Structure 1
Amino acid sequence: MSSVRFLLFALLPVFAGCQSLFPTDEPAPAPVVRLQGELHVVNNRLQFRPCQEKRQFILEDSGNTGLLQEAVTLLKGGKDVLFADLGGRMTASQVTGTDGQIELTKLYRIQREGHGCDDLNFKRQTLRASGHEPEWRLDANSQGLILQRPGQADLVVPYLEEQLPEGRFSLSSEANGQQLELWVAPQRCVDSMSGSVQHLRAELRLNGQILKGCGAYGGARQEAIALPEE
């Protein structure tokens, strides 16, 4: 009996060596990266060129974000190039003439108007939101927020951020005699004027007045949210 026990202990290093030769762990998936760039259609497929780059990537909507449908709708407006802000995993591609493939997992916004790659303020912003009737635009960064409205002086104030359940949050301020609250929820939102699609629905409450609109994270906020179904 003791000899059998000795043999089993002697074979333990051999078994361990066999396991190291045949690892069971699968390789970790590529990390999700956030990218901004130009979106266009080539040979009935969506291709993406990151800002300030010449590389072209095929887009595969593995996260079911709805980007393909949104792009088709916006391209009907006469534009052949759109701007997209998205998150995805970069992998190899077998398509000739491309530099790889992006497996799309997150969609922040897609638009046919605006500054796009030329937006110099994007990297410093944590959030941007806007709406119509009446027109308003709010930009926030780590230092404070600025609210812009036609015919009125810009309102620049500090704010407090409160995290709420289900990915919602709010920005609030009572500085300069103004009572301001911006409520934000992770929900697909279509701009009623431009047709752009953003991943946040916003509601601005200013001195009792309620203004609705859409929003998206700026480049200084790396948190990503996929578009839920309506």
Structure 2
Amino acid sequence: MTFRHSLAALAVLLLSAALQADEAKPVDATPKMAYGLMMKQGDRLIFSPCRDRSYANVEDVSADGSVTRVLNSVGLDAGKRLYVELLGVLDNGTLKASAFNMARVEGRCQMPGGKEEAWRAAGNDPAWALVAGGEHVRLQRYGKPEVVLPYAEFRSDGNISRYDGANDHARLAVRLDKTICRDAQANGAFAWTASVELNGQILKGCAWQR
């Protein structure tokens, strides 16, 4: 065997070993948030990650198929394309979805909030929006001054998350319940129901993790 043939054989052996090692590598079973667009094609659910041209099949592994039920309530089963945020594991080209964060009809991709955003919440009548994370909790209301308070990690028992903050002019209490919240004006559904109390005024709406 010539030196050139020896190198070629060695390269084949190394490639084969690398492929076998990759095949033997266990799938990361830690659920992570998946951000992307979802649609239904026949009996298949197709997921396309944000800023990525790849596709994955979706398998609902949630208890009693709760993820699919929520998505169908927003319009997935009726053929609508949804922007979704699902907790799941990517396994061999299949997204195994175990929990739901939010979904909107024809919504745009929203990348993770990072250190600056842990939660978002919003409601109507009157219109309001809350962003919590980083250094501040910010509450905006239509026609009213913005309320800004220091951020502290929400206290949680699993199904309820709370925040309380105050300054010389405002006292804010936020309660998030892990129950599906539907917002007809936003054309979407969210994993948490929000109740915000500001100086005695109660604001109702939906919330989702960032």
TM-score per shorter chain, which class?
A: 0.7 to 0.9
> Counterparts in 2 of 1:25-44, with a 5 A limit?
30-44=29-43
Distance 1:59 1:87 in 2: 12
Distance 2:90 2:153 in 1: 33
Change (3 A) 1:78 1:31: closer
CA-based RMSD? 2.5
> Counterparts in 2 of 1:39-50, with a 5 A limit?
39-50=38-49
Distance 1:175 1:159 in 2: 12
Q: Report the equivalent of 1:224.
A: none
Q: Deviations over 1:64-84 (max 9, x none)?
A: 352323333323798732100
Higher RCO (CA-CA < 8 Å; seq separation 6+):
1
Give the secondary structure class of the aligned counterpart of 1:73. Answer: helix
Distance 2:174 2:104 in 1: 23
| Aligned mate of 1:106, from 89, 99, 111 | 99
Change (3 A) 1:162 1:146: closer
Distance 1:146 1:113 in 2: 27
Change (3 A) 1:37 1:133: same
Name whichever of 191-200 and 129-138 sits farther off.
191-200
CA apart distance, 1:176? 4.4
1:84–1:110 contact (8 Å) kept in structure 2: yes
What's the % identity of the aligned pairs? 25
CA apart distance, 1:151? 1.1
Distance 1:88 1:62 in 2: 9
CA apart distance, 1:122? 3.1
> Counterparts in 2 of 1:1-230, with a 5 A limit?
30-64=29-63, 66-75=66-75, 80-92=80-92, 100-112=93-105, 114=107, 116-117=108-109, 119=110, 122-123=113-114, 124-218=116-210
Name whichever of 39-48 and 74-83 sits farther off.
74-83
Residue 113 of structure 2 aligns with an amino acid whose one-letter code is F
Distance 2:154 2:186 in 1: 30
Q: Deviations over 1:99-121 (max 9, x none)?
A: x111111111111155x31x467
Normalising by the residue count of structure 1, what TM-score does the alignment of the two structures yield? 0.71
1:36–1:84 contact (8 Å) kept in structure 2: yes
Distance 2:57 2:196 in 1: 37
Highest CA radius of gyration, 1 or 2? 1
CA apart distance, 1:167? 3.4
CA apart distance, 1:161? 4.1
**Unaligned regions of 5+ residues in structure 1, if any?**
1-26, 93-99, 219-230
Q: Deviations over 1:28-56 (max 9, x none)?
A: 86221211001111233211111001111
Residue 86 of structure 1 aligns with an amino acid whose one-letter code is L
Change (3 A) 1:77 1:90: closer
Distance 1:215 1:151 in 2: 22
Q: Give 1 or 2: higher strand fraction.
A: 2
Distance 1:151 1:78 in 2: 37
Distance 1:165 1:126 in 2: 16
2:35–2:111 contact (8 Å) kept in structure 1: no
Where in structure 1 do 4 or more consecutive aligned residues deviate above 6 Å?
76-79
Give the secondary structure class of the aligned counterpart of 2:51. Answer: coil
Distance 1:75 1:60 in 2: 18
